[in-house]
Structures are given as C-alpha cells and as structure tokens.
Amino acid sequence: MTEILGVTIPESSFLNMKEDEIRKILKEQHETLPNGWKSEHVEAWRKPLKLVRDYKKNIVQRIKGESISQNFTSHEYGRLSHNPDKFPLFYLKSKNWDDDKPSILIVGGVHGYEPSGIFASIEFAEKNEDNNFNYVIFPCLSPWGYEMDHRWNYEAQDPNRGYVVNSDIEECIHFMDAIDTLGKTFLGSIDLHETPDRDITLRIMRASRFGTPLVQDYQNIPQGFYLVVDSYYKSGKDGFIKSINNAVANVVDIAQDKEVLNVPNENGVVYLDIPGLGATWLRENNISRYAATTEVYSTPIGNKKSIEGQLAAIKGLCENLTLEIKS
C-alpha cells in the first residue's frame, strides 16, 4: 500500500486484475488526487516518506573502498542542495586513463529506487576485469531517491526526464556539467534501470503530479528485461543492442510482451524517443556513439539476480565494442 496525499493506493493487488478493472480503479483514485501539484503538494507527498537506506554507508564507503581505489579515482561533482552534507555526488574514472583507448560510460541510480544499476556499476568497478577501455562510472545519480526508495527526487521530479538544455532537475544538471568538465567522448554508454511492479502505482502519482492524462498512461509491466534505445539505431549500427540482449538472456528472461511503453517490443528492444532521457542526451550531443538504457524486471527475480542481469548487460556492451575496435 502506498499513501499519496491522503489517498491509499494498493500495489500488489493490481497484478491479478484485468486491465479494465485496473484502469477503473486508477481512474477513481486519480480523480480524488489534485491535477498538477503545487509546492504544498510536494511537501505533503514528501512528509510520510521514510528513510530506508544509507547512501554514505552502502555506496560512498564502497566506492571509496580499497578494491575500487586500486583502479579508479573518485571525483566529487556536486552536492544535492537540500542536504549537501548528506549527499555528495561522485563519479569514478579509470586511474590509468589512456587517450589511445576508447572509453565507456556507465550510469546507475538515475532512479534511486532501482538499486541494481547502482550495485552492478560498483561491482563492475571493483572487479575491473576489462582493460580494453577507459571507464567513467556514475554509480548513483539520485542518492536521495536511493535513501527514500523512490523514483523521484526531493522536489518530486523524475531525473530521467531532465537531460535537456536549461534543465531544472538538479541531479541531471550536476551530471551534464560533470560530463562537460570531463571533456571526454565515449564509444558506448549504458544507463542501468529497472521496471518493478511498483510502477503501476507510480503512474497514478505521475499523472497527478504533472497533471497529465492517466488512462493513456496505463501500460502493463513488461514481463522481463528490455532495452530502450533511440529510433536512430533502427537504421543499422545495432550490433551493440544484440550483444547486450544476448548476454542478458543467459542470466534473466527477455520480455516477450508484444508492446512495451506503447511501442512494438522487438525481442526485448524498444525503440523510443522520449525527450529528456539520459541516453538520448548522450547520443544527440555526440558524447556517446552508442547509448542504451537497460530495464530489468526486478520484482519477480529480486535484487541479486537483477544485479547479475545489469552486469551481463555491461559485459555485452563491452564485448561488442571490443569487436568493433579490433575489426
């Protein structure tokens, strides 16, 4: 159960209902919620949220740990303004940076309630098994969301819609500034996400928060892993996409749903142009030649398996780009 502005929203009970029934309930609940939030709504939304994790203990300590420090330097690239002491932001950069090697960018925790990307990127840095590339790793873009186990940031904004010029989303501004300061381009990048069952509930909140229509916004939760990429990659250059999904298929199921996010699902690949996505920003600005967003269906498989899926996705990307640089 989630309580949002005094309205109680069931979560798991949706899973066994028919789509029409879900739509009806969502519509009723949506009608009782405000249509577009003012600052007092954001405050009221934030009030009952409880801290469930510890960013410094679980993440910062680990990225400053010995195994990562052997191969990476960590860099603070900003602090979240509502609590700067608690939320310094870090990225990792390969210690032995070699400008003759291509580089890969790995991003986790854009949505703080999707922890598998955070821990897969940390584990990847700890193991440091692939020396064909330089790496820049942003393990956790949204530490407040991580601590509160929420998709949104402190201001109830969605960080994976904020990679735009004149963005007002702090997490994205810090990231884009850090990329700009780094001054590097990447052969490939991967942004690690999850799609949990909880997203059904979040859709009601999103419609209320942003005053957007609800019914059109209802979709099923895809039953497995899928990759979101720009439609740009439809015209070829899709070797990295296949390589990622092949690697993931060894570990977790690939979504077989006919449609995902209202577009055809092509064997676990969804071509989608959503303004403000991190991967889109990286590709459009020629920061990364290949850019993909992973979506692990985390609810049935749990965190450990989700991390394995994300690690497989990173590996699949590296494998394909290794072939590319050697060909």
Q: Which residues bind Zn ion (CB under 5 A)?
A: 111, 114, 193
For residue 318, the one-letter residue type is C
| Count of helix runs (H) and strand runs (E) in the chain | 12, 12
Nearer to Zn ion, 102 or 109 (CB): 109
Nearer to Zn ion, 30 or 111 (CB): 111
Measured CA to CA, the distance from residue 30 to residue 113 in angstroms comes to: 23
Q: What is the nearest approach in angstroms of Zn ion to the Cβ of residue 110?
A: 6
How, if at all, do strands 288-296 and 186-194 pair? parallel
Q: What is the nearest approach in angstroms of Zn ion to the Cβ of residue 17?
A: 24
Nearer to Zn ion, 30 or 198 (CB): 198
Nearer to Zn ion, 187 or 277 (CB): 277
Q: What is the nearest approach in angstroms of Zn ion to the Cβ of residue 317?
A: 18
Q: What is the nearest approach in angstroms of Zn ion to the Cβ of residue 38?
A: 26
The C-alpha angle with vertex 164 and arms to 309 and 285, in degrees rounded to 5, equals: 75
Nearer to Zn ion, 208 or 294 (CB): 294
From the list 174, 192, 91, 172, the residue with the least C-alpha distance to 135 is 91
For residue 57, the one-letter residue type is K
Measured CA to CA, the distance from residue 82 to residue 273 in angstroms comes to: 31
* 3 state DSSP class of 248: helix
Q: What is the nearest approach in angstroms of Zn ion to the Cβ of residue 6?
A: 27
